[in-house]
């Protein structure tokens, strides 16, 4: 009975945002949307249902034997295709899912008043609810397909929310850039999933996430390292670790609550959660561990330095958050799972509160001056021989944009331009074959 | 027996339903009569070519697919771009494709191959399209000759090297028509200089893939299959990259066609049931998606003139339904979860990586790039500027067509069980033939 | 024509066309008749492909096919004239390059410049300030970007470091560098001014901030940087030169390329395109439909008539039509106000009122004063400049820095501090200790938040705990405020204002405190100005106003304009303390202004966001006035609930049937809610200004749209008071009106767009995201309900006397002549209104009856959310 209750609770938790998504999306597609109050009540009901479901599941799980449970929810595409859609329930997944739904509930109650009378009100909530659904999928995913589906929904909803104000060119350009980085991450993850299925035979993630170190030994260290690197790349693209850190500052174009929940809190930590789940992978390959720790440390150092020269509220916050994300990745690489999860929860909640009250910074600093009874001492100038270079490095956010433009974009566009001009001449090939003579068609 | 009945029903009911929608969507079009004639032609031709049990299951899917493409084409094309003769040619081309999809006899297929090419050339009559017409005549003429020679060679010489060269010629014909490297350049050129509606109508059903699947794939040697798959793969990545780079919306549509159809061809060459079924699903999803994108570009062009992708056009608030439908179709190309493309992409990548690992990665990279290119088109055509132009909303017919395309891609994506089942059985049928041929 | 009457449209057209109005054009229609028909029918603008689509795909022509054919025929015959000619011309090299090649160098240069300016002007938000910032922007830039890493800023910055190092080698200052850049860009000395103006306006937010800090360094919140517009332009042109040379790199000689671009400056961007046949016919077709013409009439047009008709249509396009309709609506609004005031019987409070209240002239006080008067008819209210004549630097007892509280144009001389009445009390020490701890904890958070180790400690330890404030402040804002107030904390201790002159030098300004004579001048000036000098009541409340809200970088826009965006509470308190000072009363008595001994002034502060009213120095109130004050406090409490209810009708999230209590709770929640982008609507819907006695407007429902400045014409023989009043009040009020006007007419150009993506930059302003221009102007959420109309001021004074005063006020006259302000004179004796027009003063003839309703304001506004016409509120007869 315990398992049945757990299964139904999880189903409710997963179904609530999905149903809400359909309820919000379909009427506004046919331009007869709900009124703001109705949408408000629907969303509150769905979030409470999801939270209730997860709470019940948590209680059942705690009451039960507390080891991993694989819920098979039947087959997604076709019986023979072997695309099982199943969920993996354990301490981490329930905790992260509950955190995700709770935080998004708080942000949605903030957004009702903040986006009152806004032109894209319904579009915003459709994207926010699809973000919650994607997060739940990532948290509770049992099979590779579910994890990959949740991962992509996450990416698309955050890119479309960066382009929320799509009557201006800047958010749209930045959204496309953000989506490019996410697509690179998604491609890496899909490749890792396909390779894992190819080599390990089963697509169940329980293989990846559970069991001792020995479970994956049969793959051979080279293959493990390749899968680990691909998973790390996917996590790095989503959590803006180096070298993908350039899109984080660009993603601040959306409304404050969406920037808060995506880039201050949950979306940035989804990568860390993925690494947390892929603990077995890291444990079974020392090289992967060192690489992950290295990337985390480098990102933390990079963000700490760059964050010191940022003179606007949201940049300061997102680089502060990125510093902690880098440290969390190092903690995960070193295997301190519990500390990493607590640190992640702390960073999520603190950054969300700071982001939501970011416009209040004038008020807060004046209050701080009055409390201290003295003027805020002027921020000091960086000292030392390389002061100028370090400050320029920090001001230009580590030149990441420029370097990517120089080393990646420029050669690629030159190559593609060459291909395009080749094409404009190539179509005359059959004309020549048929002896049709080559005049300008 | 149930397949035959279901398939006959498909032949009869679906076009009738389409004609009803045709009347509703296009009030005042004088060609109701001609459409009725086409329905009659369609029934007669398909009754003749009916054999080869194994491909019946494939036809059950492809016939409604081709009919839907025709319905989408005629409802959303503005009258300024499609006069009455164009409607007649579209109806005739659909009739021919439905006939081709219901038969496997080589002669019928060659006839349809040539006739559809002639129709495309007829679409580009007149001085203005002289360049495009020369393009079509040269390429499709070459491909028809290759096909005829290939079939003749393969049919009369039994087994052995000569038969394989025959099949190679058939593949060459398919490569030219479908626009696979090195013959891919004419499709974007046709989209840029010719009629975008006619080009989309010609490319969307991917008749070349059907001919390859029916005539050549079961009988070809593995080295031939691998080389064609390799060429198709290169084109998939190449086309997607160039679609991302294009400044002109029409050329971008052309390259998207090249990229998606070559992905389908690459999938068909894999002797693995899951991959083949995935390729068939991609065939349907990319056909609808890219045809829908091209039709949307045509509808926007009729309102705003030539569209450049380097400029932001705005206009989401004026046509939210078209914008959302365009986004759904872009996501189908990107194989996004929840759309039909995701199912096809997953099955293709999963099945391919076992027998042809290179294909698995390349397919993933190509879809990622193609998805980005499509979403870039969405951002450029609908976002980025407060649209202050004249208030030109969607007509009822356009609303019907684009909504149907979006609902179909999402609906099948969320409940793919039936479609995937049918196509799985169809792919196993093809593989059986391949085994029996190999044994012989 | 819902809200515009026929006569308004005719007036607006005649006002614009003046003599040319009655020239016949075609079909027996004069120019005025033709334009009014087109204005009413509306022109659906379509051109090129969209017009072709419209004609073929939709049935817009439909039944009028013959008329369309006739118009096509006529269009062939008529000369096709160009439109109203609004095409823009090339002003910078970037525009020419963008038109030719489509590459936009601004997308390369602006992000780098925004980051540089953000870092340079930063007021303390960043941990590091720019090294060598004290040497100016140009020096910092040359210092930083001469580093070899500068080329990693992007491919456009390849030649940047080399260019900068060469200029450093030549030892150029900003001026020489600017001149060198202009020469290199091929801009001659005569073309320099428009070119530099266009360059400065690319980032007008940041550029404007640099100029502001250059002109008024004392406004810098924390530290004033040596910002100079010259430095900014020099830096910008260096960056643009580097970007242009990169963009022209493919050319043989890039330097020559710059000269070619410069040659095309000033020329038209797009070649003038004559309208196509269909476009021309489309305009004729719509005009013909507007005038109700038939196909035969159009066909029978003579060439001359046709040419005149076509010429008229070319000039009177969509923009011209919208301008006429806008002017017509403004006249409709003015007519409503004139009807209400013209010949109206003045309504007085009780002959000798027991209570008088002096408020700011802000239009948000109009509704509070009206509710006060409805609740207690014996109260007499006045309106004055919100700083009550007390221009000072004020430092509160808990403030770290003094703040100027006076109009923006005034630089105060006096410094006034606030001190604890009893500094040694235990409560004071406890609260100071709590504040110190909070300060230390806040400083720890602020400094170490972004760092490596400090951040780690904060997020790992404090992070999880922050769930509690997160959920409380976001999901249950009003609940958390109620709990906070319920905490048993000791109340704020009593404080005093140090008004008297102190010998010591003040931290800022020239004199510490006020001399008695200065106090007397201030008190006398105000009391005479508002005409209450000889009939003071026993209790006089002086109320300044301000606004408190959370998460609102534009909070000071809701505060008092006369106090330079500060809260007027300290000014009101200082005035009351001055007026209660016996020495000051003696000086005034000597000048003939005898304040009755038992009169007492009470300072107060009204919060226009949560409608709270706080009274100051109540412990100094004489015991005899205790019952009187309690009655007044009760009246104020009832009035603030009713005014909250009137304000809530404009908030869509408040149900129309809600009661007074619910309304008050709603506005209180709004001012404490992190998620509320609209704490209050501020000056939105301002339209009128009245300088005259309250009796002229008392009893009128003005829908919070009128600034009310008290002025008594009887006691102003030599017009000196009127001149002083108009000189100080009209520029401030016109400034507010035009700020809202432009932010509503162009929300993203003059206004700063929606608040949602705003990000506080360098503690100086807000920008969208992290790399946009600084956004000046008002956000959309503040102007969404505002009707952009130009201010209409009614002065209670004879027309010729008013004209004489206006002659002596160049600033006000300038606004009038450029038609940003409309003025009318209300003849005090006869009460007739004279509207000032170009041709002189014209007596107003009432056009419509003024609606009237019995009861109180709620009877008129209940259940309605939109703008309401002005109505007469007739008090219900008090049951015997």
CA–CA distance, C359 with A219 (Å, rounded to integer): 82
Say which of C130, C149, C653 has its CB closest to residue A399.
Answer: C149
Contacts of C150 in chain A (CB under 8 A): 392
Check CB contact under 8 Å for C463 and A300.
no
User: What pLDDT shows up at residue C81?
Assistant: 66
| pLDDT value of position B158 | 65
**Chain-chain contact of B320 with A184 (C-beta, under 8 angstroms):** no
Count how many Cα atoms sit within 13 Å of the Cα of residue B392 in the half-sphere of its side chain. 27
Which among A147, A198, A224, A151 is positioned nearest to B275, based on CA atoms? A198
Collect all residues with Cβ–Cβ distance below 8 Å to A405 and sequence separation of at least 6: C154, C155
Chain A neighbours among C 444-463 (CB < 8 Å)?
446, 449-452, 455-456, 458-463
Residue contact B79–C54, C-beta within 8 A = no
**Strand C539-546 with C613-615, pairing:** unpaired
User: Least CA distance to A118: which residue of chain C?
Assistant: C754
Interface-testing mutation among C119, C250, C450, C565, with chain A (most A C-beta atoms within 10 A)? C450
C770 touches chain A (CB under 8 A): yes
Tell me the C-alpha distance between B351 and B357, whole Å. Answer: 9
Nearest to C400 among A112, A373, A403 (CB): A373
Q: Which residues of B touch A77 (CB under 8 A)?
A: 343, 346-347, 416-417, 420
Banded model confidence at residue B33, pLDDT cuts 50, 70, 90: very low
- Note whether A77 contacts B417, CB cutoff 8 Å: yes
Cα–Cα distance, A257 to C470 (Å, whole number) = 13
Domain that holds residue A152: 2-361
Whether A413 maps to a domain, the answer reads: no
C86 touches chain B (CB under 8 A): no
Query: Mutate which of B236, B272, B332, B368 to test chain A, going by most A C-beta atoms within 10 A?
Result: B368
Averaged pLDDT for residues A49-72 = 85
Contact A176 B379 (CB under 8 A): yes
Residue A371 lies in a domain: no
A311 and chain B in contact, CB less than 8 A: no
**Are residues B375 and A186, on separate chains, in Cβ contact within 8 Å?**
no
Check whether A329 has a pLDDT greater than 50.
yes
Judge whether A34 lies within some domain.
Answer: yes
State whether C678 and A116 contact (CB < 8 Å).
Answer: yes
Pairing of strands C765-768, C706-710: unpaired
**C residues 403-442 closer than 8 Å to A (CB):** 435-436, 438-440, 442
Q: Is residue A162 domain-resident?
A: yes
Whole-angstrom distance, CA of residue B422 vs CA of residue B2:
13
Q: CB A168: neighbour CB atoms within 10 A?
A: 22
Pairwise CA distance, residues A129 & A133, whole Å: 6
CB–CB of A436 and B134 under 8 A?
yes
d(CA C241, CA C233): 12
What are the Cα distances from residue C47, in Å, to B79, C53, C66, C104?
18, 10, 21, 27
Residue in A75, A149, A197 closest to B337 by CB: A149
Question: Mind giving me the DSSP string for B140-202?
Answer: HHHHHHHHHHHHHHHHHT-SSHHHHHHHHHHHHHHHHHHT-TTSTTHHHHHHHHS-HHHHHHH
Q: What is the mean pLDDT of each run of 10 residues along chain C (880 residues)?
A: 81 85 79 87 82 82 84 80 68 89 91 94 89 89 89 88 90 91 89 92 94 86 84 95 89 79 80 79 86 84 83 85 92 93 84 88 94 91 92 89 87 89 81 87 84 87 89 86 80 84 87 92 91 87 94 92 90 94 93 90 94 92 92 95 94 91 93 91 93 92 94 88 90 93 93 93 91 93 94 94 93 92 93 90 91 91 92 77
* Spatial separation of the C-alpha atoms in residues C230 and C210, rounded to whole Å: 10
Q: How many domains does chain A have?
A: 1
Mean pLDDT value of segment B417-421: 78
Q: What is the pLDDT of residue C202?
A: 94
Query: What values do phi and psi take at B245, rounded to 5?
Result: -95, -20
**Residue C291: its H or E element:** helix C277-291
A 10 A CB-CB count for C180 gives 18
Mean of the per-residue pLDDT values of chain B: 80
| Residue A37 at interface with chain B, using a CB cutoff of 8 Å | no
- Give chains near A: 3+ CB pairs under 8 A: B, C
| Cis peptide bond upstream of B7, omega within 30 | no
Burial call B99-108: b when 16+ CB within 10 Å, e when fewer = bbbbbbebeb
Which residues in chain B have Cβ-Cβ distances shorter than 8 Å to A152?
336-337
**C-alpha closest to that of B315 among B403, B389, B402:** B389
Do C176 and C266 touch, CB atoms closer than 8 A?
no
Pairing mode of beta strands C414-420, C495-498: antiparallel
Segments in C449-566 forming alpha helices (H): 452-457, 463-465, 467-475, 477-486, 516-529
Name the band, by pLDDT with cuts 50, 70 and 90, for residue B3.
very low
Judged by DSSP in three states, C64 sits in helix
The residues with which C701 forms a beta bridge, in sequence order, are: C871
Look at C50 and B310 and tell me if their CB atoms are within 8 Å. Answer: no
B interface toward C at CB cutoff 8 Å? 78-80, 301-305, 310, 386, 389-392, 395
Is any Cβ of chain B less than 8 angstroms from the Cβ of A201? no
Burial category of B439 from C-beta neighbours within 10 Å (exposed 0-12, middle 13-18, buried 19 and up): exposed
* A319 pLDDT higher than 90: yes
Alpha carbon distance C799, C719 (integer Å): 13
Cα–Cα dist C319/C322, whole Å: 5
Min distance C533 CA to chain B CA atoms (Å): 57
B chain contacts of residue C53, beta-carbon cutoff 8 Å = 78, 80, 302-303, 392
Count of CB atoms within 10 A of residue A199's CB? 16
A248-266 average pLDDT score:
88
Interval B289-319: pLDDT, tens = 999 999 999 999 988 888 999 888 888 888 8
Q: What mean pLDDT is predicted for residues A147-176? A: 92
Sign of CA dihedral B112, B117, B118, B119: positive
What span, in angstroms and rounded, lies between the C-alpha atoms of C29 and C41? 16
Q: How many CB pairs under 8 A join A and C?
A: 302
Q: Do B242 and A416 touch (CB under 8 A)?
A: yes
Please indicate if any CB of chain B lies within 8 Å of the CB of A78. yes
CA atoms within 13 A on the CB side of C620: 17
Q: Under an 8 A CB cutoff, do A29 and B321 touch?
A: yes
Mention every residue, 6+ apart, whose C-beta is less than 8 A from residue C647. C367, C611, C663, C667, C680, C681, C704
- For residue A180, the SS3 value is helix
Size of interface A-B (CB pairs under 8 A): 153
Least confident of A30-34, A313-317, C584-588, C875-879: C875-879
| Helices of type H across B204-310 | 207-211, 222-245, 249-268, 273-304
Domain membership of residue A372 (yes or no) is no
Q: How confident is the model at residue B253 (pLDDT cuts 50, 70, 90)?
A: very high
- The pLDDT-based confidence of B434 (bands split at 50, 70, 90) is confident
Closest CA relative to residue B266, chosen from B294, B238, B236: B236
Instruction: Indicate the DSSP class of residue C487.
Output: S
pLDDT at C581: 93
How many residues comprise chain C?
A: 880
CA angle, residues A198, A204, A206, in degrees to nearest 5: 125
Q: Which of B186, B277, B379 sits opposite A427 (nearest CB)?
A: B186
Tens of pLDDT, residues B190-218: 999 988 888 998 999 888 998 888 888 88
Rounded to the nearest 5 percent, the helix, strand and coil shares of chain A are 75, 5, 20
Q: Do A363 and C555 touch (CB under 8 A)?
A: yes
pLDDT bin (cut points 50, 70, 90) of residue B1 is very low
Average pLDDT estimate for B239-266: 92
How far away is chain A from the Cα of C858, in angstroms, using its nearest Cα?
26
φ, ψ of residue B426 to 5 degrees: the values are -60, -45
Distance from CA of C56 to the nearest CA of B (A): 7
Work out the number of other CB atoms within 10 angstroms of the CB of residue C577.
23
Alpha carbon dihedral C741, C745, C748, C749, in 10-degree steps, equals -80
Among C566, C841, C825, B130, smallest CA distance to C833 is for: C825
Residue C98 in contact with partner chain B when CB distance is under 8 A:
no
Q: Who among B305, B386, B391 is closest to C48 (CB)?
A: B305
Could you say which DSSP state residue C491 is in? P
Strands (E) across C283-402 are located at 355-360, 380-384, 392-395
- Other beta carbons less than 10 A from residue C626's beta carbon: 10
Structure confidence at residue A204 as a pLDDT band (50, 70, 90): low
What is the model's pLDDT at position C818?
92
Q: Give the separation between CA C304 and CA A15, rounded to whole angstroms.
A: 74
Q: Average pLDDT in the B366-376 region?
A: 93
- Residue A24 within a domain: yes
User: Given an 8 Å threshold on Cβ–Cβ distance, is B138 in contact with A163?
Assistant: no
pLDDT for residue A77:
62
CA-CA distance, B380 to A173, in Å (whole number)?
A: 9
Q: Sign (positive/negative) of CA torsion B216, B217, B218, B223?
A: positive
Hey, which residues does C384 pair with through a beta bridge?
Answer: C360
The whole-number pLDDT of residue C878 equals 63
Over residues C388-404, the pLDDT tens digits come to 999 999 998 888 888 88
Q: Give mean pLDDT, residues B266-273.
A: 82
10 Å CB burial of residue C228 (0-12, 13-18, 19+) is middle
pLDDT greater at residue A214 or residue A286: A286
- Which of B133-142, B421-430, C138-147, C630-639 has the largest mean confidence? C630-639
Chain A residues in contact with B135 (beta carbon < 8 A): 427, 441
Residues of C in contact with B301 (CB under 8 A): 49
Selected residue of A17, A33, A75, A78 to mutate for chain B interface (largest B Cβ count, 10 A): A78
For C751, the 3-state DSSP assignment is coil
Say how far residue C23 (Cα) sits from the centre of its chain: 41
Instruction: With respect to residue A253, please indicate whether it lies within any of the assigned structural domains.
Output: yes
Chain B residue closest in CA terms to A203 = B350
Measured distance CA(C353)–CA(B235) in Å, rounded: 92
How far apart are alpha carbons C475 and C470 in whole angstroms? 8
In a domain, A428, yes or no: no
Closest residue to C50, CB basis, from B304, B310, B386 = B304
- Contact list in C for residue A403 (CB cut-off 8 A) is 152
Is C669 touching A (CB cutoff 8 A)?
Answer: no
Highest mean pLDDT among A84-93, B15-24, C494-503 belongs to: C494-503
Residue B159 has pLDDT above 90, yes or no: no
């Amino acid at each position: 009975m315990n398992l049945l209750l757990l299964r139904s609770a999880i189903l409710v938790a997963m179904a609530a945002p999905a149903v809400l998504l359909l309820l919000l999306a379909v009427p506004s597609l046919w331009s007869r949307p709900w009124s703001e109050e109705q949408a408000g009540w629907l969303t509150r009901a769905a979030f409470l249902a999801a939270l209730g479901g997860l709470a019940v599941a948590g209680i059942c799980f705690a009451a039960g034997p507390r080891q991993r449970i694989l819920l098979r929810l039947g087959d997604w595409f076709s019986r023979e295709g072997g695309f099982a859609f199943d969920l993996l329930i354990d301490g981490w997944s329930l905790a992260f899912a509950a955190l995700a739904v709770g935080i998004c509930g708080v942000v949605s109650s903030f957004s009702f008043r903040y986006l009152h009378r806004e032109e894209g009100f319904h579009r915003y909530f459709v994207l926010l609810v699809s973000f919650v659904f994607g997060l739940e999928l990532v948290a509770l995913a049992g099979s590779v397909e579910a994890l990959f589906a949740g991962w992509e929904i996450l990416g698309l909803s955050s890119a479309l929310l960066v382009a929320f104000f799509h009557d201006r060119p800047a958010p749209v350009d930045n959204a496309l850039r953000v989506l490019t980085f996410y697509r690179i991450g998604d491609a890496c993850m899909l490749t890792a999933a396909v390779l894992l299925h190819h080599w390990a035979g089963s697509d169940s993630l329980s293989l990846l996430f559970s069991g001792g170190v020995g479970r994956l030994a049969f793959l051979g260290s080279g293959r493990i390292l390749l899968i680990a690197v691909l998973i790390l790349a996917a996590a790095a693209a989503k959590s803006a670790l180096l070298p993908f850190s350039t899109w984080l500052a660009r993603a601040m174009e959306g409304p404050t609550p969406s920037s808060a929940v995506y880039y201050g809190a949950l979306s940035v930590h989804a990568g860390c959660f993925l690494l947390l789940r892929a603990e077995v992978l890291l444990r079974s390959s020392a090289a992967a561990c060192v690489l992950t720790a290295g990337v985390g440390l480098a990102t933390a150092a990079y963000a700490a330095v760059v964050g010191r020269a940022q003179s606007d509220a949201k940049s300061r916050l997102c680089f502060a958050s990125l510093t902690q994300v880098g440290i969390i990745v190092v903690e995960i690489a070193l295997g301190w799972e519990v500390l990493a999860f607590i640190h992640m929860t702390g960073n999520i909640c603190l950054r969300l509160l700071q982001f939501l009250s970011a416009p209040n910074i004038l008020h807060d600093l004046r209050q701080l001056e009055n409390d201290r009874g003295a003027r805020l001492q002027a921020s000091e100038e960086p000292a030392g021989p390389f002061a100028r270079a370090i400050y320029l490095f920090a001001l230009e956010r580590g030149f990441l944009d420029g370097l990517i433009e120089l080393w990646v974009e420029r050669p690629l566009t030159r190559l593609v331009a060459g291909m395009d001009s080749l094409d404009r001449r190539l179509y005359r090939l059959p004309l020549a074959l048929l002896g049709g003579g080559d005049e300008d068609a | 027996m149930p397949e035959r009945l279901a398939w006959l029903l498909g032949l009869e009911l679906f076009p009738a339903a389409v004609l009803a929608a045709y009347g509703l969507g296009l009030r005042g079009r004088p060609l109701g009569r001609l459409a009725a004639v086409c329905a009659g032609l369609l029934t007669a031709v398909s009754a003749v070519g009916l054999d080869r049990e194994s491909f019946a299951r494939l036809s059950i899917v492809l016939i409604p697919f081709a009919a839907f493409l025709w319905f989408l084409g005629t409802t959303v094309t503005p009258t300024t771009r499609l006069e009455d003769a164009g409607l007649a040619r579209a109806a005739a081309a659909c009739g021919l494709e439905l006939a081709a999809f219901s038969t496997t006899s080589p002669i019928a297929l060659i006839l349809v191959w040539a006739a559809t090419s002639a129709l495309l050339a007829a679409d580009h009559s007149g001085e203005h399209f002289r360049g495009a017409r020369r393009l079509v005549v040269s390429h499709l003429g070459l491909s028809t000759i290759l096909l005829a020679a290939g079939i003749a060679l393969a049919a009369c010489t039994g087994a052995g090297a000569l038969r394989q060269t025959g099949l190679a010629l058939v593949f060459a014909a398919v490569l030219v028509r479908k626009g696979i490297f090195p013959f891919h350049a004419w499709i974007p050129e046709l989209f840029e200089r010719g009629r975008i509606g006619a080009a989309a109508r010609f490319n969307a059903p991917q008749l070349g893939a059907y001919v390859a699947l029916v005539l050549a794939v079961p009988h070809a040697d593995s080295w031939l299959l691998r080389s064609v798959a390799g060429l198709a793969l290169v084109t998939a990545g190449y086309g997607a990259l160039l679609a991302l780079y294009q400044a002109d919306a029409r050329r971008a549509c052309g390259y998207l066609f090249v990229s998606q159809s070559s992905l389908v061809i690459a999938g068909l060459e894999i002797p693995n049931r899951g991959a083949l079924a995935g390729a068939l699903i991609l065939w349907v999803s990319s056909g609808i998606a890219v045809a829908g994108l091209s039709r949307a570009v045509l509808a926007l062009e009729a309102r705003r003139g030539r569209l450049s992708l380097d400029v932001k056009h705005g206009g989401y608030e004026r046509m939210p339904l078209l914008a959302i439908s365009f986004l759904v179709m872009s996501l189908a190309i990107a194989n996004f979860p929840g759309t039909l493309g995701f199912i096809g992409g997953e099955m293709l990548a999963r099945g391919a990586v076992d027998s042809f690992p290179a294909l698995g990665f390349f397919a993933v990279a190509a879809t990622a790039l193609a998805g980005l290119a499509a979403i870039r088109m969405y951002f450029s055509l609908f976002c980025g500027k407060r649209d202050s132009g004249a208030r030109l909303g969607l007509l009822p017919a356009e609303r019907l067509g684009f909504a149907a395309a979006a609902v179909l891609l999402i609906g099948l994506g969320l409940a793919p069980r039936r479609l995937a089942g049918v196509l799985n059985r169809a792919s196993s049928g093809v593989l059986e033939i391949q085994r029996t041929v190999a044994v012989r | 024509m819902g809200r515009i009457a026929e006569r308004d449209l005719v007036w607006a057209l005649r006002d614009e066309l003046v003599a040319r109005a009655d020239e016949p054009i075609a079909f027996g229609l004069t120019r005025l008749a033709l334009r009014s028909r087109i204005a009413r029918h509306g022109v659906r603008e379509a051109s090129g492909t969209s017009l072709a689509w419209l004609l073929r795909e939709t049935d817009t022509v439909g039944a009028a096919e013959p008329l369309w054919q006739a118009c096509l025929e006529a269009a062939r015959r008529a000369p096709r004239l160009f439109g109203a000619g609004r095409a823009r011309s090339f002003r910078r090299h970037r525009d020419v390059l963008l038109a030719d090649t489509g590459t936009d160098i601004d997308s390369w240069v602006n992000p780098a410049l925004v980051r540089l300016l953000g870092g340079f002007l930063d007021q303390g938000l960043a941990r590091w300030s720019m090294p060598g910032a004290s040497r100016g922007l140009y020096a910092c830039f040359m210092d930083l970007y001469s580093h070899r890493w500068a080329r990693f800023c992007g491919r456009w910055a390849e030649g940047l470091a080399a260019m900068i190092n060469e200029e450093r080698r030549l030892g150029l200052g900003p001026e020489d560098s600017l001149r060198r850049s202009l020469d290199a860009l091929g801009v001659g000395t005569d073309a320099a001014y428009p070119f530099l103006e266009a360059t400065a306006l690319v980032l007008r937010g940041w550029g404007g901030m640099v100029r502001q800090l250059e002109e008024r360094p004392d406004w810098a919140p924390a530290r004033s940087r040596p910002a100079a517009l010259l430095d900014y332009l020099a830096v910008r042109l260096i960056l643009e030169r580097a970007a242009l040379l990169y963009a022209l790199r493919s050319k043989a000689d890039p330097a020559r390329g710059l000269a070619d671009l410069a040659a095309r400056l000033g020329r038209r961007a797009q070649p003038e395109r004559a309208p196509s046949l269909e476009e021309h016919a489309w305009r004729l077709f719509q005009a013909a439909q507007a005038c109700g013409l038939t196909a035969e009439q159009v066909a029978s047009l003579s060439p001359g008539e046709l040419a005149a008709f076509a010429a008229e249509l070319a000039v009177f396009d969509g923009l011209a039509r919208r301008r006429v309709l806008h002017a017509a609506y403004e006249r409709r609004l003015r007519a409503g106000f004139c009807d209400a005031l013209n010949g109206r019987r003045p309504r007085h409070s009780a002959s000798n009122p027991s209570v008088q209240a002096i408020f700011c002239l802000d239009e948000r006080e109009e509704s509070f004063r009206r509710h006060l008067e409805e609740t207690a008819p014996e109260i007499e209210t006045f309106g004055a400049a919100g700083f009550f004549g007390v221009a000072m630097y004020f430092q509160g007892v808990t403030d770290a820095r003094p703040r100027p509280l006076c109009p923006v144009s005034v630089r105060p001389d006096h410094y006034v501090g606030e001190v604890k009445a009893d500094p040694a009390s235990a409560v004071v020490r406890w609260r100071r200790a709590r504040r110190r701890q909070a300060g230390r904890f806040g400083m720890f958070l602020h400094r170490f938040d972004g760092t490596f180790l400090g951040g780690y400690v904060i997020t790992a330890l404090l992070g999880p705990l922050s769930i509690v404030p997160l959920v409380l402040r976001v999901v249950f804002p009003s609940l958390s405020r109620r709990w906070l107030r319920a905490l048993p904390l000791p109340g704020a201790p009593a404080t005093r204002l140090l008004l008297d002159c102190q010998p010591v030098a003040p931290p800022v300004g020239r004199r510490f405190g006020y001399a008695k004579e200065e106090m007397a001048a201030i008190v006398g000036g105000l009391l005479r100005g508002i005409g209450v000098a000889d009939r003071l009541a026993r209790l006089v409340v002086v109320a300044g106003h301000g606004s408190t809200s959370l998460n609102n970088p534009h909070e000071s826009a809701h505060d008092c304009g006369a106090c330079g965006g500060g809260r007027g509470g300290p000014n009101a308190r200082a005035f009351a303390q001055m007026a209660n000072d016996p020495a000051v009363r003696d000086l005034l008595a000597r000048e003939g202004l005898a304040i009755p001994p038992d009169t007492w002034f009470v300072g107060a502060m009204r919060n226009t966001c949560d409608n709270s009213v706080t009274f100051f120095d109540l412990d100094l109130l004489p015991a005899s006035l205790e019952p009187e004050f309690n009655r007044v406090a009760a009246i104020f409490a009832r009035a603030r609930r009713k005014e909250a209810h009137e304000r809530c009708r404009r908030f869509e999230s408040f149900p129309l049937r809600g009661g007074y209590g619910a309304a008050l709770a709603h506005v209180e929640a709004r001012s404490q809610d992190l998620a509320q982008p609209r704490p209050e609507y501020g000056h939105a819907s301002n339209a009128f200004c009245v300088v005259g006695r309250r009796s002229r407007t008392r009893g009128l429902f003005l829908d919070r749209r009128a600034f009310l400045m008290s002025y008594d014409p009887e006691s102003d023989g030599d017009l000196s008071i009127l001149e002083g009043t108009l000189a100080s009040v009209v520029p401030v009020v016109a400034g507010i009106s035009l700020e809202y006007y432009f932010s509503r007419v162009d929300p993203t150009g003059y206004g700063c767009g929606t608040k949602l993506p705003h990000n506080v930059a360098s503690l100086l302003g807000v920008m969208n995201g992290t790399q946009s221009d600084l956004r000046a102007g008002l956000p959309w959420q503040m102007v969404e309900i505002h009707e952009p109309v130009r201010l209409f001021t009614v002065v209670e004074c004879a027309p010729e006397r008013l004209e004489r005063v206006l002659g002596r006020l160049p600033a006000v006259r300038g606004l009038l002549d450029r038609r940003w302000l409309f003025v009318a004179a209300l003849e005090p004796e006869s009460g007739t209104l004279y509207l000032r027009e170009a041709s002189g003063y014209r007596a107003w003839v009432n056009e419509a009856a003024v609606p009237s309703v019995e009861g109180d304001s709620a009877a008129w506004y209940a259940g309605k959310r939109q703008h309401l016409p002005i109505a007469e509120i007739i008090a219900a007869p008090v049951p015997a």
